[in-house]
């Protein structure tokens, strides 16, 4: 991901962003991995933070701990609207396929535990009957 300053961005929908970005605006990547990106941004006015990597289903965004809408910028990039002030922006990748797979694994483990418990009870009953 590359941090750069741009003066114009095409968003997928209208978002009220009064005023132009000020030269004092800044954004700094604090942490970056395949599944988490944390950015500290300081803005003199309302603006939008655009990441230079591709928007992809499964990404979630939080601004100051509050879930926020991810906008598509310039047809394929991720962006979030920000008000004036200092903000911590966190992008996390939470693919639905991972959650579905984890749920199915949990259910399978639970089913196998019930089958094993039932088998153990049948064996105990047979031993007790003899």
How far apart (Å, rounded) are the C-alpha atoms in residues 112 and 87?
47
pLDDT of the residue at 14: 66
Calculate what percentage of the chain has a pLDDT beyond 70.
80
Segment (H or E) for 91: strand 85-93
Sheet containing 77-82: order of strands? 47-54, 77-82, 71-73
pLDDT in tens, 86-125: 999 999 998 777 677 888 898 899 888 888 887 777 777 7
3-state secondary structure of 8: coil
Residue 116 — φ and ψ, nearest 5°? Answer: -65, -40
Q: Model pTM?
A: 0.61
User: Tell me: the pLDDT tens digits for 7-50?
Assistant: 566 666 666 655 554 556 788 999 999 899 999 999 888 888 88
Cα–Cα distance for residue pair 60/69, rounded to 1 Å: 8
């Amino acid at each position: 991901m590359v941090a750069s300053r741009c003066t114009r961005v095409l968003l997928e929908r209208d978002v009220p962003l009064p005023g132009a970005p000020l030269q004092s605006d800044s954004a700094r990547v604090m942490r970056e991995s395949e599944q988490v990106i944390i950015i500290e941004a300081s803005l003199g006015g309302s603006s939008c933070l655009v990441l230079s990597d591709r928007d992809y289903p499964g990404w979630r965004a939080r601004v100051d701990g509050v879930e926020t809408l991810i906008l598509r910028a310039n047809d394929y990039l991720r962006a979030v609207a920000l008000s004036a002030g200092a903000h911590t922006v966190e992008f996390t990748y939470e693919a639905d396929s991972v959650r579905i797979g984890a749920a199915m694994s949990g259910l399978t483990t639970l089913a196998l535990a019930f089958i094993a418990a039932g088998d153990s009870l049948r064996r105990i009953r047979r031993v007790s009957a003899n």
